[in-house]
Amino acid sequence: MVCKMLILYNILIISGMISAFPLLFFIVLASRKRRETLLQRMGLAQLPENIKQNSFNGPDQKPIWIHALSVGEVISALPLVKGIRNRFKNRNIVFSVSTKTGFETADKLLKKEITALFFFPYDLLFSVKYIAKKIDPAAVIIVESDIWPNYLFEMKRRKVPLFLVNARLSDRSFKGYRRFLFFSRPLFSMFSSICTQTGEDARRFELLEIPSGKIKVVGNLKFDQESPFIFEDGIKKTEELMSIKPKQKVLLAGSTHKGEESILLAAFSKLKKDFSDLFMIVAPRDPKRSEAVCRLFKSSGFSACLFKDLSCPSANRRFDVIIIDTIGILRKLYAVSDLAFIGGSLVDMGGHNPLEPAAFSKPIIFGPYMNNFVQISELFLKSGGAVQVENVKSLYETASMLLSDDEKSRIMGEKAFNLFNQNKGAVGKILKVMTAGIACGHDC
């Protein structure tokens, strides 16, 4: 079954590459980041020098390879990387990503924990064979998604245990995999273990005819993030940089998407009439959109500024709105906010992680589209740590209520933090599965 799937898959890949070669050539030529990583990802250039440190004589010293697609998966992996570092002290950890923003995030957050950071290979047979041989891992861990057939098969062929962790299947993904069961069943069956976020995710994997013995419900890694600690001095510096006054209310909209900012703008316009001193921070999911978002708020008469421009002498004045045009600072911004809105939820993008504001005891608002975080969002709603809104009107009413009632806002933030704190434990369960899997190999 696996061989038939792979033959068909590689025929499709080769055919697609040949037919789309002019377009692919143009895309690579036009994209600097793709040009910079192309040869390495194809296995035609040397891997980073420090990967050579991972060539050891004994099987007990082979590295553990962790792969995360992009920023969200890198952040999910943080507590697991630290857990692996403590459990497998004699092994190095190599870490791969598939996007530039993911690389930048991992480079910033994981430098002290990993031996090497590199881009994941393209799923071409010669590429994955070359890189697999160079790294020769003791185990491979894939965080949430980014699953590639040739890569999995090569690791299985080399008898490397494969673990899919923080696994989830959204409604859309599940329907797609069910439609192409001849492809998805052998694909997921190559994993030694699949550690799911919820029982519902486990049930869906079973419906894809994955052996139940491979599936473990361990919970969500995102709950295992360390409770963030930011020194008061750090908070004060952020407030000073943004010219936030003492006791000034701050509304933060994190990871927003195209079409969502116009809804936020409409609600903010109404809120400013009731709370004239209200300050807003908007962090687009894609920083490249920040200038367009800034122009949107300016066009409605608000004083808006990009975060990168705050240090300029000309920016030495107060603003109504700051637009974040860099990555890696959202957590710090939650610390200075009074109210957090979760982006990607008022437009159909599946929502984003509500745990970061919860870790800072912030009351949370999100829209109806939280299908990427169904279980977590339901837990927050049931606990009273979050409120779901549908449109401009309900967003305005909810934000107005929380901004005008400090006690209600405090209690809601406290409930959000308690939920965050009470659902930890996924890392320990994954480490238990990994330890057993590495001990007995791929076919454990």
Per-residue pLDDT band at 166 (split at 50, 70, 90): very high
Residues 321 and 382 in one domain: yes
Residue 241 and residue 310 in contact, taking contact as beta carbons nearer than 8 Å: yes
20 CB-near residues (< 8 Å, 6+ apart): none
Least confident range of 18-32, 318-332, 413-427: 18-32
pLDDT, greater one: 418 or 225: 418
Amino acid at 5: M
Domain co-membership, 204 together with 240: no
What is the per-residue pLDDT across 15-30, written as a single tens digit (0 to 9) for each?
876 776 666 556 655 6
Q: Is residue 271 predicted with pLDDT exceeding 70?
A: yes
Q: What is the tens place of the pLDDT at every residue in 191-237? A: 999 999 999 999 999 999 999 999 999 999 989 987 766 667 778 88
393: which 2 tokens? Answer: 């009107």
- pLDDT of 56 above 60: no
Residue 14: per-residue pLDDT: 80
In this prediction, residues 54-59 reach a mean pLDDT of: 54
Which residue, 355, 374, 378, is CA-closest to 226? 355
Q: How many CA atoms lie within 13 A of 256 on its CB side?
A: 26
How far is it, in rounded angstroms, from Cα 206 to Cα 159? 24
pLDDT at position 10, please?
Answer: 83
- Residues 335 and 347 grouped into a single domain: yes
Same domain (yes/no): 203, 268: no
Query: Which of the four pLDDT bands, split at 50, 70 and 90, describes residue 34?
Result: low
What CATH number did the domain enclosing 375 receive?
A: 3.40.50.2000
The mean pLDDT value of the chain amounts to 89
User: Do residues 436 and 367 share a domain?
Assistant: no
The verdict on 62 and 210 lying in the same domain is: yes
- pLDDT higher than threshold 80 for residue 93: yes
Q: Which residue do the tokens 């507590």 mark?
A: 79
Please state, in angstroms and rounded to a whole number, the distance separating the CA atoms of residues 180 and 203.
Answer: 18
Q: Are 108 and 330 in contact (CB under 8 A)?
A: no
The DSSP letter of residue 348 is: T
Residue 282, domain extent: 232-422
In a domain, 17, yes or no: no
Residue 311 CB contacts under 8 Å (≥ 6 apart), including other chains: 241
CA distance 434 to 415: 33
| Predicted pLDDT at 7 | 86
Domains identified in the chain, total number = 2
What pLDDT sits at residue 439? 83
d(CA 57, CA 35) in angstroms, rounded, equals 35
pLDDT at residue 28, as a whole number: 58
| Cα distance between residue 276 and residue 219, in whole Å | 43
Nearest CA among 327, 231, 250 for reference residue 288 = 327
409 and 303 in a single domain? The answer is: yes
Among 182, 178, 180, 221, which residue's Cα sits nearest to residue 203?
178
In this structure, the answer to whether residues 146 and 285 fall within a common structural domain is no
Residue 119 has pLDDT above 70, yes or no: yes
Average pLDDT rounded to a whole number, residues 253-271: 98
Is residue 272 over pLDDT 90?
yes
How much is the pLDDT for 300? 97
Q: What pLDDT score was predicted for residue 378?
A: 94
Task: Note whether residue 387 is domain-resident.
Answer: yes
Please indicate whether residue 208 or residue 240 has the higher confidence score (pLDDT): 208
The percent of residues in the chain predicted with pLDDT above 90, rounded, is: 68
Same domain, 105 and 84: yes
Residue 386 near residue 377 (C-beta atoms within 8 A): yes
The answer as to whether 23 is a domain residue is no
Residue 31 lies in a domain: no
CATH number of the domain bearing residue 138:
3.40.50.11720
- Of 154-163, 173-182, 222-231, the least confident: 222-231
- Over residues 390-410, the mean pLDDT reads 98
Whether 169 and 101 map to the same domain: the answer is yes
Q: Is the pLDDT of residue 54 over 60?
A: no
Q: Which two tokens stand for residue 444?
A: 């454990």
Q: What is the mean pLDDT of residues 84-95?
A: 94
pLDDT at res. 69: 94
Tokens 């049930």 correspond to: 203
Residue 151 confidence (pLDDT): 96
**pLDDT at site 373:** 87
Instruction: Fill in the DSSP letter of residue 97.
Output: E
The set of long-range contacts for 171-174, using a CB threshold of 8 Å and a minimum separation of 24, is 171/371, 172/371, 174/204, 174/207, 174/208
**Residue 253 CA neighbour count, 13 Å, CB half:** 29
The pLDDT assigned to 312 comes to 62
Q: Quick one: how far is CA 6 from the chain centroid?
A: 29
CA dist 373 and 62 (Å) reads 35
Can you tell me the distance from the alpha carbon of 99 to that of 119, in angstroms, rounded to the nearest whole number?
8
**DSSP-derived 3-state class of residue 164:** strand
Inform me whether the pLDDT recorded for 397 exceeds 90.
Answer: yes
Tell which residue, 367, 444, 441, 421, has the closest CA to residue 138.
441
Residues 247, 381 within the same domain: yes
Catalytic machinery residues: 73
What pLDDT is stored for residue 21 in this prediction?
62
- Residue 8: is its pLDDT beyond 80? yes
For residue 280, give the nearest of 407, 173, 300 by alpha carbon. 300
pLDDT score of 25: 58
Interatomic CA distance for residues 172 and 182, integer angstroms: 18
pLDDT at 24: 59
| Residue 95 domain-assigned (yes or no) | yes
With a CB cutoff of 8 Å and minimum separation 6, the contacts of 405 are none
Task: Tell whether 365 and 436 lie within a shared domain.
Answer: no
